[in-house]
C-alpha cells in the first residue's frame, strides 16, 4: 500500500448517529465512495463523508478496502443526503443506506455499463513510439485509429492494458447522448391555461418551484409531458414522482408512447434489487432520459437533470414512516434547488403547506381551470343522519339514490375507509368492546373468516363465545366496514355485479387492475372500497358516490383529518362521472352544519382549504408553525415516560415543548408510545433548537432503554 496520510470520516451503514475516522492510502478516496472498515471485532461497510486531517486526539485505524473508484453520487445528491440527515436529525449511515439501492449497501459493484465508450484523455501519449510494451502500443494505436472504443469490444488481454490506461487517466469515458427520436404519438394542442403554465415554466431559470393546481382531467399530466419533452429533446433528463406504485403504469404508458420505451424507466420497491441497481446506474450515466418512481426515486442520480415533477403532491405516502422519516416532496424541492432546475408540484387538492408556500410567493401558483374534456364535476350533497336506522351502515336515502342510479344504467361507488365487517365486536350487556391485547385499539370483526383481527399489529383470534368482561354471550358487531356494506348491497341488489376493493380482497396491483378493468364497462354495477379505490383510478360510468364515514374526518384528534377529508371527497368526486354523466356525491354525516362540509358543498377545494388554513392559523398549527415530535416507545411505559422526562429536562431554555403525551395510538404491538411536541415559529428556529437538543439525547441515562426517533414535519401522531 502507498503512503498513508489522509484521514477520512466514515458513516457506517447502521443507525448509529456517530461518524468514525479512518486512515486511507494517498491520494485519499473522495467523499461519496464506499469503504469497508474495521469495526469492533469485525468489518462494516460505510461511505466516506469527508476527508482531511484527523481531528486531534483521535487514533484512527486503516481502512480495510476502498470499494469505488468514483463517488457513487454526484456532489448535488451528496449534499441532498447531508441536508436530509441534518434536517430530519437522522443517522447519516442510515440516510445513505435508505437512499442507495440495497445491492450497493451490501457491497456489490455499481455496474459499469457496457454502452459506455472511451476516448483518449489529455494525459495520454500522443504516439505509440512513446511506449515500450507492444500491448500498450497496440491499444493506443487502436484508440488513435478509431477515436472511440467500447470496453466490451476488447479482448481480455487488451482489457488488462485498458484498465492500466484508465488508472493513469490516459483514457476516459465519453458522454454519448442517447438519440431522442421525436415523439411517437403527437402531443395535444394545448388549452389556454396549459399554454400559460408551459410559458411560465419555460421562462424560469435555474431553480424555480411551481404549484400546478387543477382538477382531475384538467391536463396536468399533459403539461408535465410537454415540459419534459423540451428537455428530453436536448438529451436532458427528467424525474417524475408519484405517490404509489399503483399509479405508475398509467403515467408510464403515456410516457412510453410519447417518448419511446427505451428512454423511460421506472424505479420503485416492486422491482428486484438487480433491476433497481440497473436503473440507478443507467440514470446516473444519462442513458435513461425519464425516470418515473415512488418516494425513493428522489435519490436516483441523474447525469443531466433538468426537471423534477411531484404528482399528487398532497399525498401522505411521500413521507417515509419508518427509519429515516423524510418527505420525498420536500426533498424534491431541495434537490431542485441543489441541481438548479425547476420543480413542479401537481395536485387537484394541494396540501395546506404547499398552498401556503404559494400564497407567500415562495412557489409560483399555476392554475388549470377547466377540464380538457369539458366534463362537469359532480354535485356534492349532504345527507344528514338523524334518528334513522342504518342498513349495513347506509342511510335509506343513500340506498334509494343507489337504486335510481342503477336503474338509470350507471354505476354507484361507496367509499368507506374501514375494512372488515365491523370495527368492533361489542357486548350487548356491559358495553365492552373486545380489544387487541397488544394495542390500544378494538379488534375488527371479519365475518366471512369468523375471526377478530387487529389492523395495527396483525394479531388475530376466533371470536370468543362470551364477553371477556361479564361473561354474557351477547356479542354484536358495532359500526360498519366494507365487508358489511358489500353484504347489504348485494342482498338489496342481488342481480347487480358488485366489486369490493380493499386489502382483504385485493392483494396485488395486478389483481386491482384486472378487477377494475373487468367492472369498467359493466353497467349497472356497484363498487365498494377503501382509499385503495380513491387514488388515481378513473370511473367514467360512476354516477353516484356515497362517502360513508365523513364524520371520522371531522372529529379526529389528528389535526390533519379535515384536510384529508376535503382531499378525499374532491379526489373521488373528480374521478367519477366523467364526460356526459354529471353525477352526485353524497356525504353521509351526523353534523350536516359543520363548516367544513358547507365549504365542500361548493365543490371548490380552494374554499375548503382557506377555511382549514384559518383554523390552523387560529390554533397555531402548521403551516403557521414548524412542528417536530420526539417519539419514544418501549414495552414498559415507565421507561418511555422516564426517557421523555429526561429529554425535557435536558432541553435548552426557550424551547416550546409539550408533553410527554401519549401517541394517538397509545399502545401498538405491545409497545407503549408517547411523544413530545416541539413547536417553533419557523423552520429555521425549530432547526436551531433541535440542533442544540437532539445530539445530547443519546447520552441520557434512559436513552438506551427505549426506541426513540425524531419526526420533523410529522404527518402521523
Ligand atoms: P390530469 O393529469 O390533470 O388528470 P391529464 O393530463 O391526464 O389531466 O388529461 C386528462 C385527459 O385529457 C387525458 O386523457 C389527456 O390525454 C387529455 N388531454 C390533456 N390535455 C389535452 C389537450 N390540450 N387537448 C385534448 N386532450 C387533452
Ligand atoms: Zn359484557
Ligand atoms: Zn394489535
Q: What is the DSSP string of 235-268?
A: T-EEEEE-S-GGGHHHHHHHHHHHH-GGGEEEES
pLDDT (mean) for 376-400: 87
CA separation, residue 506 to residues 190, 499, 500, 539, 600 (Å): 38, 10, 8, 18, 31
**Residue range 515-554, pLDDT digits in tens:** 988 888 888 999 999 988 877 778 888 999 999 989 888 8
* pLDDT value at residue 1: 43
Distance between Cα 472 and ligand 2 center (Å): 5
pLDDT score of 351 more than 70? yes
Span 334-344, average pLDDT: 98
pLDDT of amino acid 539: 86
User: What CATH number is given for 626-712 in this structure?
Assistant: 3.30.70.360
Residue 360 contacts by C-beta under 8 Å, 6 or more apart in sequence?
none
The rounded distance, in Å, linking the Cα atoms of 51 and 7 is 6
Alpha carbon separation from 75 to 49, 84, 167, 279, 295 (Å, rounded): 11, 14, 22, 19, 21
Residue 537 in contact with ligand 1 by CB distance below 6 A = no
pLDDT of residue 685: 96
Residue nearest atom 10 in ligand 1 by C-alpha distance? 217
188 lines ligand 1 (CB under 6 A): yes
Q: Is the peptide bond before 676 cis (omega within 30 degrees of 0)?
A: no
Question: Which has the higher per-residue pLDDT, 537 or 107?
Answer: 107
How confident is the model at residue 175, as a pLDDT? 65
Q: Which residues pair with 626 in a beta bridge?
A: 680
Mutate to test the pocket of ligand 1, among 186, 214, 221, 605 (most ligand atoms within 8 A of CB): 221
Does ligand 1 come within 6 angstroms of the Cβ of 198? Answer: no
**Cβ neighbours of residue 31 under 8 Å, at least 6 residues apart?**
48, 49, 50, 51, 71, 78
Q: According to the model, what pLDDT value does residue 390 have?
A: 87
Higher-confidence residue of 655 and 375: namely 655
Evaluate if residue 185 carries a pLDDT over 90: no
**Cα gap 690→606, rounded to integer Å:** 34
The CATH number for 4-105, chosen from 3.40.605.10, 3.40.1440.60, 3.30.2270.10, 2.50.20.10, is 3.40.1440.60
| 709-717 mean pLDDT | 94
Residue-level pLDDT at 113 = 58
pLDDT at 181 over 60: no
Torsion of the alpha carbons at 224, 227, 230 and 234, rounded to the nearest 10: -60
Ligand with the closest atom to the CA of 444? 3
Q: What is the pLDDT of residue 536?
A: 74
Three-state SS at 302: coil
The answer to whether the CB of 194 is under 6 A from ligand 1 is yes
Question: Residue 379's pLDDT is what?
Answer: 87
pTM: 0.89
pLDDT of residue 280: 96
User: For a pocket test of ligand 1, which of 196, 212, 372 has the largest count of ligand atoms closer than 8 A to its C-beta?
Assistant: 372
Ligand 1 within 6 A of CB of 284: no
Residue 321 CB neighbour total at 10 angstroms:
11
User: Is 222 a pocket residue for ligand 1 (Cβ < 6 Å)?
Assistant: yes
* 176 or 527, higher pLDDT: 527
Instruction: Find out whether the beta carbon of 372 lies less than 6 Å from any atom of ligand 1.
Output: yes
> Is the predicted pLDDT of residue 237 greater than 80, yes or no?
yes
Report the pLDDT averaged over residues 500-506: 92
Strand extents, DSSP E, 312-398: 342-347, 364-368, 379-384
Determine the residue of 217, 369, 374 to mutate for testing ligand 1's pocket, defined as the one with the most ligand atoms within 8 A of the Cβ atom.
217
Residues with CB under 5 A from ligand 2 (ion): 427, 429-430, 432, 467, 469-470, 472
Query: How many of the other CB atoms lie within 10 Å of CB of 261?
Result: 12
Distances (CA, A) of 39 to 5, 21, 49, 65: 20, 11, 17, 13
How many angstroms separate the CA atoms of 314 and 612, rounded?
15
* Cα 542 from chain centroid (whole Å): 29
Rounded CA gap, 530 and 246, in Å?
14
Return the ligand number nearest the Cα of 197.
1
Dihedral sign, CA of 349, 354, 359, 361?
negative
**pLDDT digit string, tens, across residues 614-654:** 999 999 999 999 999 999 999 999 999 999 999 999 999 88
Give pLDDT, residue 62: 92
CATH number of this structure's domain 379-421+480-617, picked from the four choices 3.30.70.270, 3.40.50.1370, 3.40.50.10330, 3.40.50.300: 3.40.50.300
Ligand 1 binding pocket includes 220 (Cβ within 6 Å): yes
Which cell is 579 given?
Answer: 364526460
Task: Give the model confidence (pLDDT) of 588-610 as tens digits.
Answer: 999 999 999 999 988 889 999 99
Q: Do domains 192-368 and 379-421+480-617 have the same CATH topology?
A: yes
574 Cβ below 6 A of ligand 1: no
Confirm or reject CATH 3.40.50.300 for domain 192-368, answering yes or no. yes
Q: How confident is the model at residue 2 (pLDDT cuts 50, 70, 90)?
A: very low
Give the closest residue to 344 by CA, choosing from 318, 381, 306, 310: 310
Contact 485, 418 (CB under 8 A): no
Whether the per-residue pLDDT at 61 is higher than 70: the answer is: yes
Q: Cα 135 to the chain's mean position, in Å?
A: 52
Residue-level pLDDT at 692: 96
Spacing, Cα 466 to ligand 2 middle (Å)? 8
Q: Is 287 exposed, middle or buried (0-12, 13-18, 19+ CB in 10 A)?
A: buried
Backbone angles phi, psi at 101, to 5 degrees: -60, 145
Between 603 and 175, name the one with better pLDDT.
603
> Residue 367's pLDDT is what?
96
CB distance 219 to ligand 1 below 6 Å: yes
The answer to whether the CB of 35 falls within 8 A of the CB of 67 is yes
pLDDT at position 116 over 80: no
**Is any atom of ligand 1 closer than 6 Å to the C-beta of 226?**
no
476 CA from centroid of ligand 2 (Å): 11
pLDDT of residue 510: 84
Share of residues in the chain with pLDDT > 90 (%) = 69
Q: Phi and psi at residue 497, in whole multiples of 5°?
A: -65, 140
Q: How many CB atoms lie within 10 A of CB 170?
A: 21
Q: How many CB atoms lie within 10 A of CB 535?
A: 18
> Cell 369539458 sits at which residue?
374
Q: Measuring CA to CA, which residue among 417, 413, 377 is closest to residue 551?
A: 417
* HSE toward the beta carbon, residue 419, CA cutoff 13 A: 19
The domains of the chain are located at: 4-105, 117-174, 192-368, 379-421+480-617, 626-712
pLDDT reported for residue 369? 87
Average pLDDT over residues 326-336: 98
Rounded average pLDDT over 204-225: 94
- Write the DSSP assignment of 197-226 as a string of letters: HHHHHHT--SSEEEEEEE-TTSSHHHHHHH
pLDDT band at residue 575, thresholds of 50, 70 and 90? confident
pLDDT at site 53? 81
If residue 589 lies in a helix (H) or strand (E), which one and from where to where? strand 584-589
Round to whole Å and give the CA distance between 694 and 678.
Answer: 12
Average pLDDT of span 61-85: 94
Which one of 219, 349, 535 would you pick to mutate in the ligand 1 pocket, going by the greatest count of ligand atoms within 8 A of its CB?
219
**pLDDT confidence band for 75 (50 / 70 / 90):** very high
Separation of CA 454 and ligand 2 centre (Å): 20
The mean predicted confidence, pLDDT, of the chain is 91
Amino acid at each position: 500500500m502507498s503512503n498513508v496520510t489522509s484521514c477520512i470520516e466514515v458513516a457506517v451503514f447502521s443507525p448509529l448517529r456517530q461518524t468514525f475516522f479512518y486512515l486511507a492510502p494517498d491520494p485519499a478516496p473522495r467523499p461519496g465512495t464506499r469503504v469497508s472498515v474495521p469495526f469492533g471485532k469485525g468489518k462494516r461497510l460505510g461511505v466516506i463523508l469527508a476527508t482531511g486531517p484527523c481531528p486531534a486526539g483521535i487514533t484512527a485505524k486503516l481502512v480495510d478496502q476502498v470499494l469505488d473508484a468514483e463517488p457513487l453520487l454526484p456532489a448535488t445528491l451528496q449534499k441532498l443526503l447531508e441536508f436530509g440527515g441534518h434536517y430530519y436529525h437522522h443517522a447519516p449511515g442510515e440516510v445513505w443506506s435508505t437512499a442507495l439501492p440495497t445491492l450497493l449497501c451490501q457491497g456489490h459493484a455499481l455496474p459499469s455499463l457496457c454502452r459506455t465508450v472511451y476516448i483518449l484523455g489529455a494525459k495520454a501519449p500522443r504516439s505509440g513510439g512513446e511506449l515500450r510494451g507492444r500491448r500498450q502500443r497496440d491499444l493506443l494505436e487502436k484508440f488513435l485509429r478509431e477515436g472511440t472504443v467500447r470496453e466490451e469490444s476488447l479482448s481480455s488481454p487488451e482489457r488488462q492494458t485498458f484498465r492500466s490506461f484508465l488508472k493513469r487517466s490516459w483514457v476516459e469515458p465519453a458522454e454519448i447522448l442517447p438519440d431522442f427520436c421525436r415523439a411517437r404519438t403527437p402531443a395535444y394542442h394545448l388549452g389556454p391555461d396549459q399554454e400559460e403554465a408551459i410559458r411560465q415554466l419555460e421562462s424560469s431559470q435555474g431553480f424555480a418551484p411551481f404549484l400546478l393546481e387543477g382538477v382531475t382531467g384538467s391536463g396536468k399530466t399533459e403539461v408535465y409531458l410537454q415540459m419534459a419533452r423540451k428537455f428530453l429533446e436536448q438529451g436532458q433528463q427528467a424525474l417524475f414522482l408519484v405517490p404509489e406504485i399503483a399509479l405508475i403504469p398509467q403515467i408510464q404508458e403515456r410516457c412510453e408512447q410519447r417518448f419511446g420505451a427505451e428512454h423511460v424507466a421506472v424505479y420503485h420497491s416492486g422491482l428486484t434489487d438487480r433491476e433497481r441497481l440497473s436503473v440507478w446506474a443507467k440514470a446516473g450515466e444519462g442513458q435513461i432520459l425519464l425516470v418515473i418512481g415512488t418516494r425513493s426515486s428522489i435519490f436516483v442520480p441523474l447525469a443531466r437533470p433538468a426537471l423534477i415533477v411531484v404528482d399528487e403532491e398532497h399525498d401522505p405516502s411521500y413521507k417515509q414512516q419508518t427509519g429515516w422519516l423524510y418527505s420525498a416532496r420536500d426533498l424534491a424541492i431541495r434537490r431542485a434547488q441543489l441541481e438548479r432546475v425547476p420543480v413542479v408540484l401537481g395536485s387537484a387538492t394541494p396540501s395546506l403547506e404547499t398552498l401556503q408556500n404559494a400564497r407567500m410567493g415562495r412557489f409560483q401558483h399555476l392554475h388549470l381551470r377547466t377540464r380538457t374534456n369539458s366534463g362537469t364535476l359532480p354535485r356534492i350533497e349532504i345527507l344528514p343522519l338523524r334518528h334513522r336506522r342504518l342498513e349495513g351502515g347506509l342511510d335509506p336515502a343513500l340506498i334509494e339514490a343507489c337504486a335510481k342510479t342503477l336503474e338509470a344504467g350507471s354505476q354507484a361507488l361507496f367509499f368507506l375507509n374501514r375494512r372488515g365487517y365491523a370495527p368492533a365486536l361489542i357486548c350487548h350487556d356491559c358495553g365492552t368492546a373486545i380489544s387487541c391485547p397488544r394495542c390500544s385499539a378494538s379488534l375488527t370483526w371479519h365475518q366471512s373468516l369468523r375471526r377478530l383481527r387487529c389492523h395495527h399489529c396483525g394479531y388475530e383470534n376466533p371470536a370468543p363465545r362470551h364477553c371477556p368482561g361479564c361473561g354474557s354471550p351477547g356479542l354484536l358487531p358495532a359500526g360498519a366496514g366494507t365487508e358489511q356494506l358489500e353484504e347489504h348491497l348485494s342482498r338489496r341488489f342481488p342481480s347487480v355485479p358488485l366489486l369490493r376493493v380493499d386489502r382483504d380482497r385485493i392483494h396485488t396491483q395486478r389483481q386491482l387492475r384486472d378487477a377494475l378493468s373487468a367492472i369498467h364497462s359493466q353497467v349497472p354495477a356497484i363498487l365498494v372500497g377503501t382509499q385503495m379505490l380513491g387514488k388515481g383510478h378513473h370511473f367514467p360510468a360512476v354516477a353516484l358516490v356515497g362517502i360513508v364515514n365523513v364524520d371520522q374526518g371531522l372529529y379526529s384528534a389528528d389535526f390533519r383529518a379535515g384536510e384529508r377529508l376535503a382531499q378525499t371527497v374532491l379526489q373521488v368526486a373528480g374521478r367519477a362521472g366523467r364526460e356526459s354523466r354529471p353525477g352526485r356525491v353524497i356525504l353521509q354525516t351526523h353534523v350536516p352544519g359543520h363548516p367544513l362540509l358547507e365549504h365542500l358543498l361548493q365543490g371548490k377545494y380552494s374554499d375548503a382549504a382557506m377555511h382549514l388554513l384559518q383554523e390552523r392559523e387560529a390554533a397555531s398549527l402548521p403551516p403557521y408553525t414548524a412542528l417536530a415530535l420526539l417519539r419514544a416507545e418501549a414495552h414498559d411505559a415507565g421507561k418511555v415516560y422516564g426517557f421523555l422526562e429526561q429529554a425535557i429536562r435536558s432541553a435548552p431554555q426557550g424551547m416550546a415543548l409539550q408533553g410527554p403525551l401519549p401517541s394517538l395510538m397509545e399502545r401498538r404491538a405491545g409497545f407503549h408510545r408517547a411523544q413530545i411536541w416541539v413547536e417553533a415559529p419557523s423552520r429555521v428556529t425549530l432547526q436551531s433548537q433541535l440542533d442544540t437538543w437532539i445530539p445530547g439525547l443519546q447520552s441520557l441515562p434512559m436513552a438506551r432503554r427505549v426506541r426513540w426517533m425524531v419526526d420533523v414535519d410529522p404527518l402521523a401522531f
